Structure 1
Amino acid sequence: MCLPTTGPQARQTASLIDLSSNAQLHHWAGLMGPPQADRLLATLSQTLDWQQPKVTVYGRQHPVPRLTAWHGNAGLRYRYSGHTHTAAGWPTALLPIKTAVEQVTGKTFNSVLANLYRNGDDCMGYHSDNEPELGHTPWVASYNLGACRELTFRPKGPGSQRQCLSVPLHHD
């Protein structure tokens, strides 16, 4: 993986991985460095309004196996897993991440779903990020603070021949 610089030239330092005929993964590592990443992890863990919503699976309600906090441009609405969220704005603590990601991607992001994994049992399952609010071909950014987590991609469709791709996301 490449370590980016800042500014427009950083867009050229991403590792590019083709996931399928209609998806690509651009991977940057080390956007902020450990000292700032450590501070951000501590601040966000303590200051975001973490929730543990319930989801219905096969008619039974279960708590989501992680804590979540959804933020974005004031008034923006987002619906997923049967829950509608309305953003109250961007907390100051999230702005360094938003700025860094926007600088390297050249894209503007209007919201974030922060996930807090409390231990090795907390997780997220396969999903599509295909909600209408995201548009036809959305850019989805993932930024990791804390323990390394595997981000795994699996092609859609039937069959046991589907090849998965896992990318380790390290602290910052």
Structure 2
Amino acid sequence: AKIPAGSDGLVILPYFMGERAPIWNVNARANIYGLTLYHTKAHIFNALMEAVSYALRHCISSGAETGMKLDGELLMVGGATKSPLWKSILADVTQYPVKCVVGGGEAAYGDAFLAAVGVGAIKDFEKIKDWLSFEDPVVPSTGNKELYDKYFEKYLEIYEALKGTMNDFAKI
């Protein structure tokens, strides 16, 4: 079943192992907010993809607040690149185009490239672009922007509301 943007009101905090950037809280824990008997496993799965995308957007917005300049696109690697839905969600939540390497193998390319740089066979880091080809980028849909902006704000509010409880719970 196709789940709409916002997962019908389901918001997940994806802090299964605490959280690093940008909240830096080892006591942060995963939470599911808004779960009802109406929601299905597909809703939860969709909300998890949105949650990871919200977490990345949180890092992006925190970096931008410090004046950090970011590239105009995201490079997605690993198993998640096999999911057209996840690429689309990531693009829509962040409003950045998402690019993926054709054929995968990003880690192996990176290892080989760093080894070549390490032994002096390659001097220019920009040369790695010659080693890779990319799929057409997944472009963000403006149709979901307003909704995802609202859900992102709720995502941030849920963490702020639970932060004290998470920290207190860790002391028990």
Name the one with the larger strand percent.
1
User: Which TM-score band applies after superposition, normalised by the shorter structure?
Assistant: 0.3 to 0.5
Name the one with the larger helix percent.
2
Q: Larger Cα Rg: Structure 1 or Structure 2? A: 2
Question: TM-score w.r.t. structure 1 length?
Answer: 0.33
